[in-house]
Amino acid sequence: MTPAVCLQNVHKVYNNSAVVDDLSLSIEPGEIFGLLGPNGAGKSTTIRMLTTLTQPTQGDIVVAGYDVVRQPIGVKRAIGVVLQQTSVDIDLTVWENMEFHGRMHHIPNPRRQQEISRWLDYVELVDRREDLVKTLSGGMKRRLQIARALLHQPEILFLDEPTVGLDPQTRRRMWEIIKGLNKQGMTLLITTHYMEEVEYLCDRIGIMDGGKLIEIGTLEELRDRHGRGLVMKQMDDRWDYTFFPTLEEAETHMLKQPDHTGLMVRPSNLEDIFVELTGRSLD
C-alpha cells in the first residue's frame, strides 16, 4: 500500500542550522498519526514542508502521491489544514467563510451548497450559518475551521494543536469529530501538547527532538520498549523515575527497598516516556 505521507532523508536548514535533520517517516492511509516534540523540535517546520508552505533543503516528500516541490497544486487539492491560530474571517458569517473557501477550490453549485450544509451539520454549526464568526466561541471557531478544511473533500487532514485553549467538554467533542472523520477513511496528522489526546486518538506516535525523529510506534510498542512499570521516588522538590519492563517488576523492586518513604509505583504513560527521551515536558 502506498503511504499517504512519505518523507525520505529530509533536511531543512535556516542560517546554516538544521531545523529538521535527516527525517524519514511514513504515514499509512487511514491512520491517525501524532507528532510530538518540545518547542524547537522541528515539528512545525515539518508541517510547513508537508503542506507546501516551505520547501525542504534536501530530501523527498510525497503527500497523497504528489511531490511537494514539483507538484504543490496536487498536494493542496488533496489536503486540509487546521492551524492553531484562528484563520477564519471573523467579519464574515459562518456561511460566507465556507462559501469563499468553496469558490477558491472551484467547487461548482449546487454541490458547493450541499457540501457546505453537510459539513456545517457535521460540526454542529448549521444553525449558526448566518452568524458572524466574531460572535462564536473558541470551540465553535475551531469547528468551523475543521468544516472549512473538509469542504473540498481532502484525503489527508493536518491538525495543528486542534484543541488548545478549549474547555474539557469542548475538547472531548473535538475528539469525537476527529474519530468520526477517521472512521470515514480519512488520514490525519495531529500535533498537540495534550498527552491524553495522543493516547486517545492516535494509532502511532512520532517523537521529534533537535530536528530528528527519536522514537516512533504505537503507545503499546513504546511502553514495551521503555518499560510498563514505574517506580517514583521523591527527591526533595522533584521525582526520580525508574522504568521496569512490567508493573509487577516495579512493585517487586519497591518491596525490596528497606525504606518505602517517598516511593510510589504506577503504570508508565506517554508523558513519562516523552520526558525520559527528551528530558523535557511538552509544557
Cell of 31: 491512520
Give me the pLDDT at residue 181, please.
94
Nearest 5°: CA angle at 275, between 45 and 226?
Answer: 110
Give me the pLDDT at residue 159, please.
94
Give me the pLDDT at residue 86, please.
82
Global pTM?
0.91
The pair phi, psi for residue 123, each rounded to 5°, is -95, 15
**Do the Cβ atoms of 149 and 157 come closer than 8 Å?**
yes
- Residue of 84, 68, 86 whose CA lies nearest to 76: 68
Cα–Cα distance measured from residue 162 to residue 149, given in angstroms and rounded to the nearest whole number: 12
Superfamily assignment of 5-217 in CATH?
Answer: P-loop containing nucleotide triphosphate hydrolases (3.40.50.300)
Please list the ranges in the chain whose pLDDT falls under 70.
280-283
Give me the pLDDT at residue 99, please.
97
Give me the pLDDT at residue 280, please.
61
Q: What is the DSSP letter of 108?
A: P
Give me the pLDDT at residue 7, please.
97
Q: Where are the domains of the chain?
A: 5-217, 228-267
Give bridge partners of residue 158 from the DSSP assignment: 81, 189
- For 140-156, the pLDDT digits (tens) are 999 999 999 999 999 99
Give me the pLDDT at residue 281, please.
54
